[in-house]
Amino acid sequence: MNYDIIIIGAGPAGLSFARSLAKTDLNILMIEKSSIDQLSQPAPDGREIALTHLSVKLMKELGAWSHIPPEVISPIKKAKVLNGNSSYFLNFGNDNSSLEALGYLVPNYHIRQALYDVVKIIDNVEIMTDVSVTDVQPGCISLSNGNNLQASLIVAADSRFSNSRRKMGIPASMHDFSRVAIVSRMEHEKSHNQTAFECFHYGRTLAILPMTGKMSSVVITVSADVADSILNMTEEQFNIDVEQQFKSRLGSMKLIGKRYSYPLVAVHANRFVAERFALIGDAAVGMHPVTAHGFNLGLRGQNTLAKEIKDAISKNKDIGSMQLLSKYDRKHQSITKPLYFGTNKIVELFTNDTLPAKVVRSVTLRFANHFAPIKRMITNKLTEKDEKGYLPFIKL
Ligand SMILES: Cc1cc2nc3c(=O)[nH]c(=O)nc-3n(C[C@H](O)[C@H](O)[C@H](O)COP(=O)(O)OP(=O)(O)OC[C@H]3O[C@@H](n4cnc5c(N)ncnc54)[C@H](O)[C@@H]3O)c2cc1C
């Protein structure tokens, strides 16, 4: 059977792209290797996603924001960044009273659930689960069940380790940080006052992100060879360890539920398009989560591509033409490239514990704190209030 568009992967990027093209005449197929149960009732995965104002706006336009229970949305009103053993903080959010919040923290599985709920009812989108894409050619895919399908455009949203990207011969820069993010939820004695803390300690980074009530998402980033020792701690040891690392700022702390771990590998495709083929989401750019860009960029990229496609429909033009795809490539690359390489530089600096780097780390924070235009610029980019800004959040 022939389709107008085939989307590979029904993660948050693929789902939001499908929703963006609802109510068009396009005949769209989504292919997802997970089961329908995993897709329709996503399980918690420990990721709490910091969304910018622009992302909230896009989620509202997609009709998905109202599907997220308000009680799981937590505004981040202030952010404090700390370096090494110093108690000196770089502060964000205090001097901008017009801003309701810097961003909003939402559990990833609620985002996925909300997006699935708005896509499952769209007439022009068919979702095929329990089958994976095994090969991709221009305008054609092969499935694990032996079928071959054609479309005017194939859009791959099949994760940062995208097999489709490789099959289409698109090279990518890949950076393995040799570090692991361990994420969990913890209850604590004192209120976080909707403040996010980013502690770039020597040897490990600790992020405490405000969830609803007296609960936070705790993200520990360590080198891969010490991750197991933290994952294997008893709950009691883990509670004491985090409380001590955080110098009891939130009083006693208690683990809730599981600890999840994610190896930190960042990827940026050299180009986002090929003949009748485009990359979106992490398949285009898989970010280190320190600046919390991943899904924010994914939402923005799919929106850019969907707009180009709708424009082509209105002008009766080919939705898979190289002219259209190149426009998307140019626009999105101009946003993702500086962010990707900039984020990797931040990680490099703030995980470098040599003496010169420690000095630069300290000076950087103090300079940013005392130089109002720099702070304003970072806050604008942090919140994506101006829609041109790109730096949503410093998170780990
Ligand atoms: C610890 C952590 C914290 C994060 N925090 C933030 C944050 O604060 N803010 C933010 O914006 N982002 C954050 N992110 C990033 C965010 O989670 C990702 O950017 C987002 O989930 C990527 O969505 P995606 O749809 O592109 O890819 P994925 O979620 O990886 O989905 C890919 C989908 O494709 C399917 N698939 C793969 N291969 C095939 C195939 N061959 N055939 C069919 N289906 C296939 C998979 O089953 C999956 O469903 C964080 C990530 C991590 C790990």
Ligand 1 mean position, distance from CA 221 (Å): 19
pTM given for the model: 0.90
pLDDT at 274: 98
pLDDT at 391: 40
One-letter amino acid at 26 equals L
Ligand 1 mean position, distance from CA 11 (Å): 6
Ligand 1 mean position, distance from CA 282 (Å): 6
pLDDT at 389: 40
Confidence check: pLDDT of 72 > 90: yes
Q: Which domains does the chain have, with CATH numbers?
A: 2-174+266-383 (3.50.50.60)
Among the ranges given (191-205, 300-314, 342-356), the one the predictor scored with the smallest mean pLDDT: 342-356
Looking at residue 42, what DSSP letter applies?
Answer: P
Confidence check: pLDDT of 348 > 80: no
Residue 205 banded pLDDT, cuts 50, 70, 90: confident
Confidence check: pLDDT of 290 > 80: no
Q: Which two tokens stand for residue 35?
A: 């089961």
pLDDT at 165: 98
Q: How many angstroms separate the CA atoms of 161 and 166, rounded?
A: 9
Taking only the tens place, the pLDDT of each residue in 255-282 is: 999 999 999 999 999 999 999 999 999 9
Give the CA-trace dihedral at 179, 171, 7, 305, to 10 degrees: 100
pLDDT at 347: 67
- CA 264 to chain CA centroid, Å, is 13
Ligand 1 interacting residues, C-beta cut-off 6 A: 8-14, 31-34, 47, 49-50, 108, 132-133, 157-159, 163, 181, 183, 262, 281-282, 289, 292-296, 298, 395
Confidence check: pLDDT of 369 > 50: yes
Taking only the tens place, the pLDDT of each residue in 121-132 is: 999 999 999 999
Residue 344 banded pLDDT, cuts 50, 70, 90: confident
Give the CA-trace dihedral at 33, 37, 41, 44, to 10 degrees: -60
pLDDT at 141: 97
Ligand 1 mean position, distance from CA 126 (Å): 21
One-letter amino acid at 254 equals K
Residue 338 banded pLDDT, cuts 50, 70, 90: confident
Q: How many angstroms separate the CA atoms of 275 and 270, rounded?
A: 15
Ligand 1 mean position, distance from CA 108 (Å): 9
Q: What is the mean pLDDT of residues 166-193?
A: 94
Confidence check: pLDDT of 145 > 80: yes
What is the CB neighbour count within 10 angstroms for residue 104? 20
Report which protein residue has its CA nearest ligand 1's atom 22.
282
Q: What is the mean pLDDT of residues 319-344?
A: 92
Taking only the tens place, the pLDDT of each residue in 8-27 is: 999 999 999 999 999 899 99
Q: How many angstroms separate the CA atoms of 52 and 43, rounded?
A: 23
Confidence check: pLDDT of 197 > 50: yes
Q: How many angstroms separate the CA atoms of 196 and 328, rounded?
A: 34
Query: Is 307 within 8 Å of 18 (Cβ atoms)?
Result: no
pLDDT at 30: 98
Confidence check: pLDDT of 198 > 60: yes
Question: Pick the residue with more confidence: 380 or 122?
Answer: 122
Q: How many angstroms separate the CA atoms of 7 and 12, rounded?
A: 12
pLDDT at 113: 98
Ligand 1 mean position, distance from CA 12 (Å): 7
What is the CB neighbour count within 10 angstroms for residue 347? 23
By percentage, how much of the chain surpasses pLDDT 90? 71
Ligand 1 mean position, distance from CA 255 (Å): 25
Scanning the chain, the segments in alpha helix (DSSP H) are 12-20, 36-40, 53-61, 108-119, 163-167, 224-231, 235-245, 294-314, 322-350, 355-370, 372-383
Q: Which of 6, 32, 299 to mutate to test the pocket of ligand 1 (most atoms within 8 A of CB)?
A: 32
Report which protein residue has its CA nearest ligand 1's atom 39.
158
DSSP letter string, 90-154: EEESSS-TT-S-SEEEEEHHHHHHHHHHHHTT-TTEEEE-S--EEEEETTEEEETTS-EEEEEEE
Q: Crossing angle of helices 322-350/294-314, nearest 10°?
A: 170
Do β-strands 148-156 and 140-143 pair in parallel, antiparallel, or remain unpaired?
antiparallel
Taking only the tens place, the pLDDT of each residue in 83-106 is: 656 666 667 675 555 668 889 999
Ligand 1 atom, smallest distance to 264 CA: 53
